[in-house]
Amino acid sequence: MRTTLSVVFTLGLIGSHLASAAEPVVTDSSQTTIALSEAAVLGVGFDALPLLASPKSATVLMPTEWRGNASISEALEFVPGIDVRTRGAWGVQTDISIRGGSFEQTALRIDGARWSAPHTGHHLMNIPIDPEDLGHVEVVRSGSGPLAGIGAFAGGIVMETAVEETGSKASVSAELGSFNWTRLRGNAQFSAGKMRHSFSLSQAKTDGYIDNSDMEINRFFWGARSQRGLSQWKSLFAVESKSFGAQTFYSSAFPNQHEETIAAVAQLSWSRQKGNWKASAAWHVRAHSDRFELYREEAGWYELTDDGLYVAPSLFATPDTAAGWYQGANLHRSLVGAVNGQLSWLGDAVKWTAAVDARSEAIYSNRLGQLVDSNAVYAFEDDRLNIDAYVSGKYFGMGDRLAFTATMAVNENSRFGSSLLPALNARMAFGTGDQVVVFGSAGRSVRHPSFTDLYYTLGGAVGSEDLKSEYADQGEIGARWNISTPQSPHQFSIETTRFIRQGRDLIDWIRRDGSDLYEATNVDEVDFFGGDVSLLYQSAEINGQWHVQSARIGASWLEANRIATGFTSNYVFDYMRNKYDVLVNFGAAGPLDLSVRSSAQTRNVKSVVSDALFTHLWGVDLNFEGNDGASLRWRGSVRMDNIFDVQFADLGQVIQPGRMVRFGLTFEWVD
C-alpha cells in the first residue's frame, strides 16, 4: 500500500507540469436560467463546448433544478435517460444509472477530478457538497471510458463548485417539512488577498416516513479560487456524515438495518494557458468510512447481551434475537489518492492532447480484503493501483463546423492487467448559426470489480475473487436541430439519438432458481440498444405577464437482446425500459416563479411493492423573493414531491415516501 501511494503522489509532482482542457464556464447558481446559446458542456472526455454543438448527448441542468434540493440526486431524477434509484429519501443513498448501466458504471467528476468509491458504487453519490454550493451540473449520456477512465462505462455526471468572483456575502437558510423534516444551512463568501473563499455548514434531519427511516446528514464545505498570473487554482475540502435507519435496504430478510457513513474529500487543481499550450493538473484524496449494522444496534433496538447475542426486547411482543452468526457491524474504510494531468497543443486545424490519471484505491475492513491481522478491528486489507492514460488528436475545419477526434487509451490495473480502449467522435454543423448538428461516437470502456464484488460474504450474499473486468463496445449517433436564431426571444432545440452498447462479462449479483443465495458473477454477453428525444425551450422575459421561462421534455427507451433465464438479476437485467420527463419553469417580471416537474417510468422488472411496471411522479416548486434596500435579500420556497401520493419502490422492498411538503426561507446579506 505504501508503495502504490508513493507512486501516486510522485506522479502528482510530475502532473503539476502537465496540461489540460479549456477552462470551464461555471454559472452563477443564483440565476434562474442559463441562455441556451451560452450554456456549455464540460464533458466527460471532450473539451468545453457550447451545449448545442457538443459531440455527445448531454443535459445541462438549470440552477432552478438543484436549488432547494436536499441533495443533487433529487434534481437528477427528472433528467432524460437517467435512472435515479434511491434507498430512503432526501439523498440518503442513491444509485445513478445511465442508459441501463449499473450504478458502478457511472463516472463522477467534480472540479476537474474524477471521484471513485472502490468499496462499493452505492457510496459514490455520498457527495459532501450542498446543492447550493454548485455552479454547474451536467449529465453526459454514453460511455467515455477512453478519455475519462474506468468509471465512465455508460456515462458521466460533471459538476463544478461555485465561488463568486467579487464582493462579500453571507446567507442563512431554514426548512421545515413533512415527517418532521428540518434543514439549516449557513454560507459565507469573501476575499482574502488574491483568494476567494466560500464556507458552508448544514444539517438536515427527519424522523422518517416509516419505522426505521430516520436520518441525519451534516455537511461542511470550503472552496477557494485564485488567479495568479496565467495560472488558476481551485481547491476544496468537504466532509459529510450520515446516520440513517436502513429499513430493508439490502435484504428484506433482515429489515431492521442501520448505517452510518463519513465522506471526506480534499483536492487541489491548477490550470494554465499560454500561447498554443494549455495545461492542468489535479490532486485528489477521498476517505470514506462505513458502519453497517444488519440489526440496528442501539438502545431500544438490538443490544448485546451477556451471552453474546443481539436482542431487541422492545421491537416485538416477544424479544427478537438476531441470528446466531451475527457478530456485530460491518466496518469498512476506503482511501483513494489520485492525481491527473493533461497537456494540450492547439494548432491551426489540429489539437493534440496527452493525459494521465493515476489513483491508489485501498480498503480496510473487518469483512473485505485479504486477512492481515486476525486480532485487529480492521483485520482485512487490499489495495490496487489504477492508471488511465490517453493520447488524442482532434481535427477541426470548415470554420469549426467539422470536428473529428480519435483517441487511443490504455488502462493499467495492478490486479486486472492492461486494457486498450480506442474511441472516435465526430460532429458536423449545417446551416446558418449551426442550426443542424449531426454527431456520432464509438468507443470501448472497462470497469473493474469493486471490493464488495470481490470479497463480501455474509447474510446470503457471496462475492467472488474470480470475477473478471467487464467491457463494453458502444456507439451513438444523433442530430440536434436548433430551430431559432440566437437573436430570437424564443429559443428551441430538439435532439434525438440512437445508441448500442455491447457488454461482455458484465458484473451482476444473481440468485439462481431454487437457491436463496445471491452471488457475484460475470454475465457473458448482453447488448443494450435504445434512444432518446428531448426538446429544450427558453423565452425572454415578458414584462408583467406569466410565461414559460424554460422547458425541457424528454423521452427515452431501452431494450436488451436477452433476458435473465435460470436466475434473478439484481442489476444487469433490472433496468428502466421507458422514461418520460417534463420540467417547466414559469415566471413573471415580479419576484415569483413556479416549476412543475413530472417523470413517468417503466421498468423491466416489476416492483415487489406494486404489481405495476409503471411509476408516475409529480413535483411542484414555488419560489418568491424580495429585498430590503441594497444589502438584504430574502427568498422563500414551497416544494411538494410525489403530489399524488404514489406508493413505489426504486430498489427491492425499500418503500419510498408518499407526498412530501417542504417550506424554506433564506436571508442573504450582500456587501
Residue 239 has which C-alpha cell? 466532509
Regarding beta strands 490-512 and 303-304, do their DSSP bridges make them parallel or antiparallel, or are they unpaired? unpaired
Residue 168, helix vs strand vs coil: coil
Query: Which pLDDT value is given to residue 317?
Result: 72
Q: Is 624 exposed, middle or buried (0-12, 13-18, 19+ CB in 10 A)?
A: middle
Residue 668 pLDDT: 93
Residue 112 to residues 71, 147, 175, 377, 486, Cα–Cα distance (Å):
20, 13, 32, 36, 30
Residues paired with 641 in a beta bridge: 619, 660
The full 3-state SS of 175-193, as one line of letters, equals EEEHHHEEEEEEEEEEEEC
Among 17, 9, 14, 12, CA closest to 278? 17
CB burial string 448-480: b at 16+ within 10 A, e below: bbbbbbbbbeebebebbeebebbbbbbbbbbbb
| Architecture (CATH level 2) of domain 2-294+329-670 | Beta Barrel (2.40)
For 413, phi then psi, to 5°, come to: -120, 135
Which phi-psi region, left, alpha or beta, contains residue 470 (left: φ > 0; alpha: ψ -120 to 50)? beta
pLDDT recorded at residue 36: 67
pLDDT of 8 reads: 36
Place of cell 491527473: 340
CA distance 360 to 332: 17
Instruction: State the DSSP code for 302.
Output: B
Those residues with Cβ within 8 angstroms of residue 523's Cβ, 6 or more apart along the chain or in another chain = 505, 506, 507, 508, 510, 569, 572
Position 469 scores a pLDDT of 97
> What CA–CA distance (Å, rounded) separates 136 from 133?
10
493-496, long-range: CB < 8 A, 24+ apart:
493/36, 493/52, 493/535, 493/536, 494/533, 494/534, 494/535, 494/536, 495/57, 495/533, 495/534, 495/535, 495/536, 496/531, 496/532, 496/533, 496/534
Rounded to whole angstroms, how far apart are CA atoms 11 and 270? 15
- pLDDT tens, position by position, 30-80: 455 666 666 777 775 566 777 777 888 889 898 888 877 889 999 899 999
Per the CB < 8 A criterion, the answer to whether 588 and 544 are in contact is yes
For cell 492547439, what's the residue? 346
* Amino acid (1-letter code) at residue 431: G
Paired with 654 in beta bridges are none
Q: Give the rounded distance of the alpha carbon of 200 from its chain centre.
A: 20
What's the grid cell of residue 659?
A: 407526498
- Separation CA 377–CA 383 (nearest Å): 18
How many angstroms separate the Cα of 659 from the Cα of each of 124, 610, 618, 647?
Answer: 27, 17, 10, 9
Distances (CA, A) of 37 to 33, 433, 525, 582: 12, 10, 41, 21
Contacts of 333 (CB under 8 A, 6+ apart): 287, 288, 289, 290, 363, 364, 365, 378
Looking at this protein, which amino acid is placed at residue 626? G
Closest CA to 53 of 37, 65, 68, 64: 37
Task: Please tell me the distance from the alpha carbon of residue 372 to that of residue 364, in angstroms, as a whole number.
Answer: 10
Angle at 348 between CA 342 and CA 354, to 5 degrees: 15
Q: Measured between alpha carbons, how far is 394 from 346 in angstroms, rounded to an integer?
A: 9
DSSP 25: P
pLDDT of residue 18: 30
Contact 404, 361 (CB under 8 A): no
C-alpha 207/C-alpha 210 separation (Å) is 9
Backbone angles phi, psi at 212, to 5 degrees: 60, 40
Residues of the chain whose pLDDT is less than 50? 1-30
* Residue 67 C-beta-side C-alpha neighbours within 13 Å: 26
For 6-38, write each residue's pLDDT tens digit: 333 333 333 333 333 333 444 444 455 666 666
Contact 444, 145 (CB under 8 A): yes
Looking at residue 89, its pLDDT comes to 83
Task: Tell me if residue 75 falls in helix, strand or coil.
Answer: helix
* Span between the terminal Cα atoms of the chain, in Å: 49
